[in-house]
Amino acid sequence: MNQFGKVAVLMGGASTEREVSLMSGAGVLNALLSKGVDAHAFDPAERDLSDLKREGFERCFVALHGRLGEGGAVQGALEVLGIPYTGSGVMASSISMDKVMTKRIWLSEGIPTPRYQVLRQGAYDRRQVIEVPDTLGLPVIVKPAHEGSSLGVTKVVGYSGMTEAVASAGKLDSDILCEQCIEGDEVTCPVLGTGDGAKALPVIRIVAPEGKYDYQNKYFTDTTQYLVPCGLPPGEEEAIQALVLKAYRVLGCRGWGRVDVMIDGKTRQPYLLEINTSPGMTSHSLVPKSAWAAGINYEELCVSLLAHAALDVGASA
C-alpha cells in the first residue's frame, strides 16, 4: 500500500504504560506489514521525534499510551512537523487524558458520570482525605486523574482505606480523583470515525475475576470474560452507543476512541467513566474484539485507522 508512504508506528515511549504500548505497537506493526504497508517501529523514548521528518516518514500510527503518548504532547509535536497521525488532535487528546476535565465537560452537556471529588497535592490534609466518603459514600474509587490502564486505582470499602489509596494514587499523579462507586455491569464501547460520520461499535460487557478489572487482569491473564454480544437487556446497548457517541463528539475526538461505562445494577442508569483516545491494540484489547464482532478484522482495522490519519492544522490525509 504505497499510497501511505513511509509509516512510523509510535510505540513504547516513556509513560507508565510503556510495556502495554510496546505490545500494542508490535501488533499494529505486524498488521500493517502484512498488508504491504512500509511501516517501521519508532520509540520516542529512544529517538527524537524530529527524526520522523528527517527520515521521510509521511504518517504516524500512534500506538502510545499514557500521558506522554496520548495526552496531546506528541500530537502537538506531530502538528509542528506536519506529519498526519492517527487518533484525536491536540486539544481532544489533552482533555481526554484529564479525567476531571472530561467529567466537567460531560456534565455540562448533560452526560451522566459518577459524582466525584478532587484532591490536589498540597491542598488537602489527612482529615479531608478521610472525610471523602462522607460526600461520596462507600465504596469509593480512588485513582490518578491522568493515568490509564487502571494504574493506581483502588476500590476503598472503609474509611480506614482512604489514606493508603490516596497515597498509592499520589505516587503517579499530583491530582487524585475520588469517585462514587457504581455497582453493576461494566461495559465499554469503541467509536470509529469523526464528527457526524463517527459510529459506535458493538458494546462489550466485561466480567473480571471477583469484579476486579485491574492492570493484571486487563493484559496478562485469560480469566476475564469479554462478552460480545454483550447480553444487556433490550434497548440498553443502543442507548449506551448513542450516549457514547455524544460523549465522543462533545470532546472533539476523531479517528477512534473507547468509552468505559458502568451501569447501575439497580436503576440500569449508565455512567460514563472515561474516554481513551489511543486504545490498546494487544491480544487482550477491547477495540479489536468489538471490531471483529462488527465484521472488521485486526489488519483491516489498523489499515482503516491509518487511512484516516490527519492533522488539526492543514489538510487531512
44 lies in which domain range?
A: 2-86
Same domain (yes/no): 203, 82:
no
The Cα–Cα gap between 72 and 313 comes to 14
Same domain (yes/no): 63, 14:
yes
The Cα–Cα gap between 296 and 218 comes to 22
In contact, 122 and 170? CB cutoff 8 Å = no
Total count of domains within the chain: 3
Same domain (yes/no): 192, 51:
no
Q: Is 192 helix (H, G, I), strand (E, B) or coil?
A: strand
- Range in 9-18, 106-115, 298-307 with the lowest mean pLDDT: 9-18
Same domain (yes/no): 199, 293:
yes
Report the CATH number at residue 46. Answer: 3.40.50.20
Tell me the pLDDT tens digit for each residue of 174-187. 999 999 999 999 99
75 lies in a domain?
A: yes
Tell me the pLDDT tens digit for each residue of 259-300. 999 999 999 999 999 999 999 999 889 999 999 999 999 999
In contact, 10 and 44? CB cutoff 8 Å = yes
Mean pLDDT, range 113-131, rounded to an integer: 92
Same domain (yes/no): 55, 81:
yes
Active site residues: 17, 149, 219, 258, 260, 274, 276, 280
What local confidence, expressed as pLDDT, does residue 221 receive? 62
What local confidence, expressed as pLDDT, does residue 197 receive? 96
Report the CATH number at residue 247. Answer: 3.30.470.20
315 lies in a domain?
A: no
Same domain (yes/no): 108, 227:
yes
Report the CATH number at residue 145. Answer: 3.30.1490.20
Same domain (yes/no): 218, 297:
yes
313 lies in a domain?
A: no
209 lies in a domain?
A: yes
Query: Is 2 a residue whose pLDDT tops 80?
Result: no
Give DSSP secondary structure letters for 214-264: -HHHHHS-S--EEESS--PPTTHHHHHHHHHHHHHHHTT--SEEEEEEEEE
What local confidence, expressed as pLDDT, does residue 216 receive? 61
Same domain (yes/no): 209, 294:
yes
Same domain (yes/no): 103, 245:
yes
279 lies in a domain?
A: yes
316 lies in a domain?
A: no
Nearest to 93 by CA among 254, 287, 314, 261: 254
312 lies in a domain?
A: no
317 lies in a domain?
A: no
Same domain (yes/no): 203, 136:
no
Cβ neighbours around 47 below 10 Å, total: 13
- Answer with the one of 180, 201, 228 that is the final residue of a domain: 180
The Cα–Cα gap between 99 and 126 comes to 23
Is the pTM for the entire model greater than 0.85? yes
Same domain (yes/no): 257, 284:
yes
Tell me the pLDDT tens digit for each residue of 214-246. 556 555 567 789 999 999 999 999 999 999 999
Same domain (yes/no): 127, 229:
no
Tell me how far CA of residue 16 lies from CA of 38, 147, 185, 252, in angstroms: 29, 8, 28, 26
pLDDT band at 315 (very low <50, low <70, confident <90, very high): very low
